[in-house]
A and B are shown apart, each in its own frame.
Chain A
């Protein structure tokens, strides 16, 4: 990162702003904010304030509560539908409660999302002014309402130009979004927020929330974005900046706020902070004191079961570029990393659900890619992170869900007639097997005939596991096994995996965003960054080391060798 700021002048400006507003109330204050989803606490007692023109860096692992906090700020439907929130939001000293993002916009708060919400066949100008176009009067509007007024193209261009001008970026206002490079799309989004100028009903933009705006940008583009952010802050707009690129945070923010497990761990001025500190605050629950004793897996004397060589996978949002990895027989290997870095692409690509290339060698034989059948036939199984989309037949019974794959791949639970010509579903065998998994995994259901969609998330996850166990795999990929399920179910699922590994000797590769979870049950943990294996460490390693790896920093310990 080569961002060099004219620090003095900027800090001077900021100081001036601060002095100017010293006696005034901050722009935004959040007091004692708390939120739970059906008893599952996700935010506890969040307190912070944000001054005019201040840039606040918000960092934390996935699931730390950043996005929930922002959803509360914007009054998203999701929050209201799940019982609202606790605490107060105060803007300019006035307590507010937004019922929808539109309300928030009216108060001058804008957000730029991770996914672009742009229309591909509209120009930058048209997107910037979407549904806020200035209009020219026509007679027809008297009759049919103002939607029959004509768009005032000239004025639209002016406003768009002005908004782009504030960013000082080379964005062509007449370019179609579908032809833009990603960076320009990002600028268009920001320009849209900036173009929201004060009118009688709406206040001009005062606070901008940028949710990982640099994740998809090239370094150059990211640089110009950061510059633009500085410009905005100088002009008095406050910014909440969410990013996983910690160097950017340190470079551009005035204050850094670290969240973990729904709490604010640290709020510090950015001066003098180093990346390692932030990393430690982000991940370290009890830094250095791992709860679990190492199993002491003997890598020297166990053969390699699965070997991935130069694997690439084209999975949208989780692109794998070049992964080489050996999995030893009988171990539990964890794969971690930040969202979007490609960890989820590894099992999805190996199985053939997304276009992939490279080599997958299992038990010394190469497995042809891009066809799940080969993967399954070789004796591997995969529990997908997308339970509802990939993992389950929501409209069918537990029996079907658990037995289907084993029936199709290994011809289990079938009765043969006419010399094997007729393969009849063996209802009794299916019921028996399902029954046994329901007991073994403590799946809570009314009967084995219950439909999968009627179960809770945790129990659905257990069904997915049972489906994989039923195949009796030699190697099991488990992707995000605890995503979206409650704490009780979480530990049950993890225990079941561990037990399955110990009792059957099944090799397990577990992919998870939660580092602590990986450290708790794995032998080794590989961290994926930018579609590549960034490092592999024994699970007992200090979590700060992992934290550094996850944000793309090699630590000294790692330099020169691997495990």
Chain B
């Protein structure tokens, strides 16, 4: 009764489903020799990127589970995390306590923003992604209002190192010297000369375990149900709207924590830019790892971080060695980031159509069998 596929068709389907990771493997395979980087250098860079970015990317998983697509609204969490960091920098709290306090401060802000974002996404059903994307822009305006005009004027911030010379508003770059690499250096070991920040990786592992555990809870099951068919879930008595809001809240809170971990590794905060980029890069990395708008798991996160950032590291040098312009490589990686998201979104929509068609064929086959 099922439609039979030949082996080649199956292979093609598997290839088609994993087109993006395969494409990236090819790019990297060509790019690595061109860039001339040593294996050791690349390995240590990759470890840094994993510890820096994977928490942020994991925060995207739960909305996908709940069928809300890629949460471009994760920038909201990033803003909350940044506000936490600005405040602890002002209060002069350093090291691990500083990081923890920043997380504590970011939590209520993230919850509030996530709640609001979830409510709006419930009103824009069917176009969650483009809406969450615009919400990111909208909130950026409010964030600027708070940080550029509110801080120092309404919200007490005293440190002159943070404030603009005019007396209120935060400077364009904030030096996070107090918490710089605080978590990374807590348990730093060297393996074949490659520095490995064990503490950070441990935190990320705990988060991954949490995600795996979460999928087994009642709430996780409800999210899976809502993600598959809202109407069926509603008929079974699941609070659909509430469940969707919670998924966004969780994602936003994690994005906030992720941003704090990200910035403690980098060490400086680009007050008005850091958060805008992060959503796009996280989404692109997840998609490179083979995730789609409706399906993603932890394996996609790590494969994505490795492949995407490998491309990111090598392309300027590869561009320089190939054409003599590093600039070219930089534009290339921007193009690839956006291109990957575009291709994934297109494939998702096309596949959705094809699957509907497939369902139709199945129906016809069933009917044949009935006869």
- Expressed in whole angstroms, the minimum distance between the Cβ of A222 and any Cβ of chain B is 11
Assuming the contacts A122-B224, A218-B370, asked whether A316 and B363 have C-beta atoms less than 8 A apart, the reply is: yes
Q: How far is the CB of B178 from chain A (nearest CB, A)?
A: 31
Q: Does A223 contact B (CB under 8 A)?
A: no
Contact of A131 among B222, B229, B369 (CB under 8 A): B222
Contact B366 A182 (CB under 8 A): yes
**What A residues does B370 contact at CB under 8 A?**
218
A117 closest partner in B (C-beta): B232
B228 touches A120 (CB 8 A): yes
Q: Which residues of A contact B232 (CB under 8 A)?
A: 117-119, 130
Q: Which residue of B2, B218, B367 is within 8 Å of A135 (Cβ)?
A: B218
A139–chain B nearest beta-carbon distance, Å: 12
Tell yes or no: B225 within 8 A of A by CB.
yes
**B225: nearest residue on chain A (CB-CB)?**
A119
CB proximity of A455 to chain B, nearest CB, Å: 27
| Interface residue? A488 (CB, 8 A) | no
Chain B residues positioned under 8 Å from A182 (CB to CB): 366
Interface size class of B (residues with CB under 8 A): 20 to 34
Known: A130-B236, A314-B360. A122 touches B225 (CB 8 A): yes
Binds B, one of A142-150, A234-242, A433-441, A478-486: A142-150
List residues of B (326-363) whose CB comes within 8 Å of A's CBs: 360, 363
Whole-angstrom distance between the alpha carbons of A126 and B220 in the complex? Answer: 13
Q: Given the interface contacts A147-B218, A150-B216, A151-B218, does A131 sit within 8 Å of B236 by beta carbon? A: yes
Contacts of A147 in B (CB 8 A): 217-219, 222
Q: How far is the CA of A147 from the CA of B250 in the complex (A)?
A: 14
CB pair A151–B216 under 8 Å, yes or no, is yes
- Indicate if the CB atoms of A117 and B231 lie closer than 8 Å: yes
Q: CB of A319 within 8 A of chain B?
A: yes
Shortest Cβ distance from residue A135 to the other chain B in the assembled complex, whole angstroms: 6
Scan A155-184; emit 1 where CB is below 8 A from any B CB, else 0: 000000000000000000000000101100
Q: Taking CB as reference atom, which chain B residue is nearest A144? A: B219
* Interface residue from B221, B237, B366 paired with A126 (Cβ < 8 Å): B221
Q: Is A70's CB within 8 Å of the partner chain B?
A: no
**Complex interface bits, A100-140 against B, C-beta within 8 A gives 1, otherwise 0:** 01100000000000000111111000100011110100100
Determine which residue in B218, B224, B225, B370 has the highest number of CB atoms from chain A within 10 A of its CB, and name it. B218
* A319→B367 contact, CB < 8 A: yes
**Known contacts A314-B360, A316-B360: does B218 contact A133 (CB below 8 Å)?**
yes
Interface check B1, CB cutoff 8 A: yes
- Cα of A542 to Cα of B97 in the assembled complex, Å: 90
1/0 per position for A371-410, CB-CB distance to B under 8 A?
Answer: 0000000000000000000000000000000000000000
Are B219's CB and A131's CB within 8 A?
Answer: no
**Chain A proximity mask over B209-220: 1 for CB below 8 Å, otherwise 0:** 000010011110
| Contact mask for chain A residues 277-288; partner B; CB cutoff 8 A; 1 contact, 0 none | 000000000000
User: Scoring B residues 186 to 214 as 1 if CB is less than 8 Å from chain A, else 0, what string do you get?
Assistant: 00000000000000000000000000010
Q: Tell me the minimal C-beta distance from A320 to chain B in angstroms.
A: 11
B364 adjacent to chain A (CB < 8 Å)? yes
Give the complex CA separation of A122 and B220 in angstroms: 13
Q: Which residues of A contact B (CB under 8 A)?
A: 101-102, 117-122, 126, 130-133, 135, 138, 146-151, 179, 181-182, 218, 314, 316, 319, 321
Q: Would you give 30 A-B contacts (Cβ < 8 Å), ordered by A?
A: A117-B232, A118-B232, A119-B228, A119-B229, A119-B233, A120-B228, A120-B229, A121-B224, A122-B225, A122-B228, A130-B232, A130-B233, A130-B236, A131-B222, A147-B218, A147-B219, A148-B217, A150-B213, A150-B216, A150-B217, A150-B218, A151-B216, A151-B218, A151-B221, A179-B2, A181-B1, A314-B360, A314-B364, A316-B363, A319-B364
Partner-A contacts on B (CB < 8 A): 1-2, 213, 216-219, 221-222, 224-225, 228-229, 231-233, 235-238, 360, 363-364, 366-367, 369-371
Inter-chain pairs besides A135-B218, A150-B213, A218-B369, 15 sampled, C-beta below 8 Å: A117-B232, A117-B235, A126-B221, A130-B233, A131-B225, A131-B237, A133-B218, A138-B217, A147-B222, A150-B216, A150-B218, A151-B221, A181-B366, A316-B363, A321-B371
